[in-house]
Amino acid sequence: MTESYNSEAPFARRSLVDRAIGAARLDIPTYEEVEADRGATGQAAAVVAIAAVCSAIGSIGEGTTGIFGALIGAFIGWLVWSGVTYLIGTMLFGGTADWGELLRTLGFAQAPGVFYVLGIIPLVGGLVKLAVAIWVLVAGIIAIRQALDVSTGKAVLTAIVGWLVMIIPMMLLGGMAALMGVGR
């Protein structure tokens, strides 16, 4: 028997921890649940914040921006990524979601990011962070697929196109900044 989820269902029964564990396990009903629960946006933001703090701790000694910078960057990235994914997924690939649904599912897709804290371990930290990044990417694709109600192929394409839309301007800005710094 398949459980169905609707926006009127009582979601208070599932805690943030239960949902984060379900999201990290790539549990599709968890993504469906947070997609439908308009009250879960705060929980999704908490997951983003926790993953950002863990990432900052796991990157100590790498000259990173610190916990505050990691939090700001994580929230801006989450908001922009959700917006870009929403536009691409609905306009190019016929997805049926609103921005809030993508905020919630992509926020919970950051749940495996708690393991970024293990990046602090000498010698293996970099490999752990790579494995976690791949895990977060897979969770993001599942989040996109469930929120937009599209095929896995369209979810992957949405993720790739969205990544290109975000990374190309960032690279151009970084290149311009580097050129400006070279002339000094």
Mean pLDDT of the chain: 86
What span, in angstroms and rounded, lies between the C-alpha atoms of 18 and 125?
A: 26
Higher pLDDT, 50 or 60: 50
Mean predicted confidence (pLDDT) in 52-72: 80
**What is the CA angle 6-15-80, rounded to 5?**
70
Mean predicted confidence (pLDDT) in 127-145: 95
Q: Percent of the chain at pLDDT above 90?
A: 61
Q: Is the pTM of this model over 0.95?
A: no
Per-residue pLDDT tens digits for 16-27: 999 999 999 999
3-state class percentages of the chain: helix first, strand second, coil last, to nearest 5: 75, 0, 25
Report pLDDT for 7.
Answer: 42
